[in-house]
Chain A
Amino acid sequence: MTISRRTLLGTTSGLALTGALAACGSNTGRGGGGGGGGPELEHWYHQYGEQGVEQAVKKYADAYDKADVSIQWRPGDYMQQLSAALLTKDGPDVFETEGPELDQIRGKRVADLTDLIKDVKDDYNPAVLATKTYEGKVYGIPQVVDMQLLYYRKSLLDDAGVEPPRTLDALVDAAKKLTTKKTKGLFLGNDGGAAVLGATPLQAAGLSFVSDDGTVGFDDPAAAKALGKLRALYADKSLLLGAPSDWSDPAAFTQGLTAMQWSGLWALPAVKKALGDDFGVLPFPKDGAAGKPTVPVGAFAAAVNAKGKHVAAGKAYLKWLWVEKEDYQEDFALSYGFHIPARISLAKKAKKLQEGAAAEAVKLATENGFSNPLIWTTAANNAYNDALSRIIKDGKDPDAELRKVVRKAQSELARVQGKPS
C-alpha cells in the first residue's frame, strides 16, 4: 500500500497548532501621577533582584519636573531585549546597559554623553569609565560598580589545615584538600568556570584579552599554563557542578555545598547574614612570576538612544539623575543591594563600605580591578569561552585551543579597529 497525501493528512489531522502567542507585557509603567510637563521619556531598567529598587527608581523619575519619565522594569534577558529594541523605532529613550556595546556605538545608536560628565570626569572609577569610552568619547554614565571575588569559609579551611590561597597552585591544592564526601572544595559556576571567569585567569597570570597597543594580549605560553590549572581543578573532582543555583547566588556557599565560591559583591549581605563572621574574601590568586591577584569589575551605565525622539531631553534627564543628584546615586547604590557607587567621592563617604569584608572588597576593586576592553567583541569572547570549556571539561590541549582563539581574536580586533584583516 502506498500512501497518498490525503491519508497522511488524515492521520495527522489531530495536530492543532499549539503556538500560544505569549501576550506581550503591556504594563509600561506610564502615568500614575507625579511627573511634570515636557516630553514623555521612556526609561528602561533590568529587573534588580533586590527589594525596593523599582520603587526607588520610580521615585527618582517622578521627582524630575522637566519631562514625564516612565519607567520600564524588564525581567528576563535584558541585554538581548535591549539590543533588539534599539534596532526598532520604538526603543527606549534612555536606558541602563552593561555596555553600550561597540556595535551600538559604531552604529551611532547611542548618544555621545561626554559633555554631561565633563566637570566630574575624574570622579569616576577609571577602570569602569574606560569601558564606556570609545575614541575619547563617553557613551554611558556609570551607575554603580559591581565586582566578582572569591568567598571562603574560614572554619572549613581551619579544619582542613589550609591557608587562604594566594596563588593559583595553592587554590588547586586547597580545593582538593577541602573536598569531602559532602562538601566540594570550590564552586566556579555550574559549567566549571568557563563562562564566568573569562579573562580573570589571564589577568592573574599578568596577561589580558587585549594589550595596550590593541593586539591580542594572551598569545603567550603563560596563558596555557594558567588555564591548564583550571583543568586540574575539574579533573581532581574538587569543583561543585550542577548546583541548583549558579555562581551568582551564594546559596551553594551558605548551604555548605562548597567551601569556597566565586561570586559577586552583591552576595555579601546574604553571606554575612547566613555565616556571620565565618567567611573571608579573596581576589583571584596570581599565577606565575609575572602574575598579580585580580578581580573583575563592571558597571551598568545609563545611556541615551541616539535614534530616539527626545535625545536632548534624555541627556538633560540623565545629567540631572546621574551627575547632579548625588543623594539619589548614593541611595541607589547602597540602600537596597550592595554595590560600590561609581563616583569615587561617594564610595569614600559610604559608611557601609568602611569595615570588614566590604572594606577589603572595595580595596580590591580599586587596586586589582580590571574590566574587559570595549573592542573585545562578543564573537571573540564566545570563541574564548568555548575553548576554555573544552580545556576544562574535555581536557583538550590548552596550547592548541588558545591558538585557535588567538586567530579568531586577531581577525575580530582587525575588524573593529578598521584594519584590513
Chain B
Amino acid sequence: MLLRKLLGPQNRNLWFWVFVGPFAIGLALFTYVPLAWSLYLSFFDAHNTVTPEDFVGLANYRTMLTDSAFQDSLLTFVVFTAVIVPATFALSLALALMVNRLRWMQAFFRSVFFLPVACSYVVAALVWKLSIFNGVRFGLANTVLGWFGSDQIAWLSTTDPPWYWLVIVTVRLWLQAGFYMILFLAGLQRIPKTLYEAAAVDGAREGWQVFRHITFPQLRATSVAVVLLLVINSFQAFDEFYNLLSSAKGYPPYARPPLVHLYILALGKEQNLGLGSAGAVILALIIGVATVAQARFFGLGRRED
C-alpha cells in the first residue's frame, strides 16, 4: 500500500526519478559538491590538501582582495571584455549582413565563416603563437613587416607597446565571429519582409537608413543574446591565454585573466587551495552581480505586452 503510494499513479514517481535521477546525481556530484567544498576550503589554510584543519576565517578573502596580482587580473579581464565584445559584435554583424545579401553561394560563405568555430582554442592558439605571430624574422606577421623594412617584433614578449593584445584578440575574433554570425543570420531571417516593403513605400533609403531604423531594432533580441554570451565567454577566458603565454617554467605577470591567475595559484605547483577557493568565490560573486546588472539593463525577464 505504502509502496503504491510512493510509486504514484502509473508509477509516475518512479519514472520521474529514473529520468531525472542520473542527471541530478551527476549535477550534485560534479557541480554542487565541489561548489560547497570550495566555499568550505576558502575559510582554511589549505596548502596541498582538500581536508584542511587550520581554520583561518576570512584571512584568505582579505589576502585575495588586497593582492595586487588579483586586482591586475580583474583589470585584464575588463580590458579584454571591453575590446573583444564590441569587436566580435561588429564583425559578426557585418559578416551576417553581407552573407545575408548574397544571392548565390550563400551556403558556401556561411560555412566558410563558420568553419573556424570547429577549431579548438588550443590548436588555434598554437598556430597564432608558432607560425603567425612568432617573434623571429620568418614568422608571417614579421615577414609582412619585413616587406616594409620594419624590424621584427616579438609579439608575445613585448609589453611596451602591449603587442600581445593583438595576438590574443585576433585569435578569439577568428574563432568566435562565425558562430555569432550564424545567430545574427537567424535573427535577420526572422525579420518580416513586409517591414522592408513598408519602409520602401515610406521612402526610406536602402543602406544605412533601413539598417538604422528597421534591421537593427528588429535584431534586438539577438543582439542582447549575443552580448550576454560574449561577456560570459570572456569571463571564461583561459585556453588561448594559457596556450599563448605560458611556458614550461611559468606564466608572465601580464595578460593574466582571473581564471589563469586562480589556476596558477590553486592548481599549479603552488596548490594553495584555500586562497584559490576564496578567489573563486569572489569571482563567482562578481559574475553574479554583473549578470544581474546586465539583465536589468536590457530589461530581460520583464513582462512582454
Contact = CB atoms under 8 A, between A and B. Distances in A.
B221 interface: yes
Interface of A: 1-5, 7-8, 10-12, 14-15, 79-80, 83-84, 87, 101, 103-104, 107, 109, 182, 189-192, 194-196, 237, 240-244, 246, 248, 257, 377-379, 382, 385-386, 389-390, 393-395
Interface in B82-133: 130-131, 133
Given A11-B222, A107-B49, A83 B269 contact: yes
B135 A12 contact: no
Given A182-B137, A190-B156, A194-B252, A107 B48 contact: yes
A80 B221 contact: no
10 contacts: A1-B220, A11-B187, A84-B267, A107-B48, A190-B154, A240-B136, A241-B157, A246-B247, A248-B248, A393-B157
A192 to B, nearest CB: 6
A87 B48 contact: yes
Q: In this complex, which of A11, A14, A182 has the most chain B Cβ atoms within 10 angstroms of its Cβ?
A: A11
A7 B190 CA distance: 12
B229 A3 contact: no
A107 B272 CA distance: 13
Interface stretch (B191-199, B202-210, B284-292, B295-303): B295-303
Contacts of A196: 249
B252 A3 contact: no
Given A2-B302, A3-B220, A242 B48 contact: no
Contacts of B253: 385-386, 389-390
Interface of B: 47-50, 69, 130-131, 133-137, 139, 151, 154-160, 182-183, 186-187, 220-222, 224-225, 228-229, 247-250, 252-254, 264, 267-272, 298-305
A8 B300 contact: yes
Question: Which one of B134, B157, B160, B267 has the greatest number of beta carbons of chain A within 10 Å?
Answer: B157
Given A15-B229, A84-B267, A379-B272, 17 more contacts: A3-B299, A5-B301, A8-B225, A11-B183, A79-B269, A80-B267, A80-B268, A103-B271, A107-B49, A190-B157, A242-B154, A378-B269, A378-B271, A385-B250, A389-B252, A389-B253, A393-B158
Chain B interface SS verdict (over half) = loop
Contacts of B154: 190, 241-242
Closest 8 pairs (CB-CB, A-B): A242-B135, A241-B154, A195-B249, A386-B253, A103-B48, A242-B154, A241-B157, A378-B270
B48 A83 contact: yes
Contact of B135 (A80, A243, A377): A243
Given A11-B222, A107-B48, A195-B249, A242 B157 contact: yes
Contacts of B248: 246, 248
Nearest to B118: A18
Contacts of A104: 48
A255 B26 CA distance: 52
A318 B158 CA distance: 47
Contacts of A393: 157-160, 252
Contacts of B252: 191, 194-195, 386, 389, 393
B224 A3 contact: yes
Contacts, number: 140
Nearest to A15: B229
A62 B254 CA distance: 48
Contact of B157 (A2, A7, A103, A191): A191
Most interface-central of A104, A189, A242 (chain B CB within 10 A): A242
B225 A12 contact: yes
B247 A191 contact: yes
B136 A83 contact: no
Contacts of A4: 301-304
B250 A195 contact: yes
Contacts of A107: 47-49
A190 B221 contact: no
A7 B48 contact: no
A211 B305 CA distance: 74
Contacts of A191: 157, 247, 250, 252
Nearest to A245: B130
Contacts of B135: 190, 240-243
A153 B150 CA distance: 27
Contact of B47 (A103, A194, A389): A103
Nearest to B269: A378
A394 B247 contact: no
A2 B139 contact: no
A80 B246 CA distance: 14
B269 A11 contact: no
B182 A14 contact: yes
A2 B159 CA distance: 44
Q: Which of B69, B134, B155, B182 is packed against the most chain A CB atoms within 10 Å? A: B134
Contacts of B182: 14
A242 B270 contact: no
Nearest to A386: B253
Contacts of B49: 87, 107
A379 B67 CA distance: 13
B183 A14 contact: yes
A192 B245 CA distance: 13
A3 B220 CA distance: 8
Contacts of B302: 2-4
A257 B142 CA distance: 14
A15 B157 CA distance: 36
A96 B268 CA distance: 18
A5 B301 CA distance: 5
Contacts of A395: 160
Given A1-B220, A87-B48, A243 B186 contact: no
B47 A244 contact: no
Contacts of A240: 135-136
A248 B247 CA distance: 10
Nearest to B47: A103
Contact of B134 (A194, A243, A389, A394): A243
A11 B158 CA distance: 41
Contact of B183 (A12, A80, A87, A182): A12
Nearest to A380: B270
A7 B154 CA distance: 46
Given A14-B186, A103-B48, A378-B270, A5 B69 contact: no
B136 A382 contact: no
Contacts of A248: 248
Contacts of A190: 135, 154, 156-157, 247
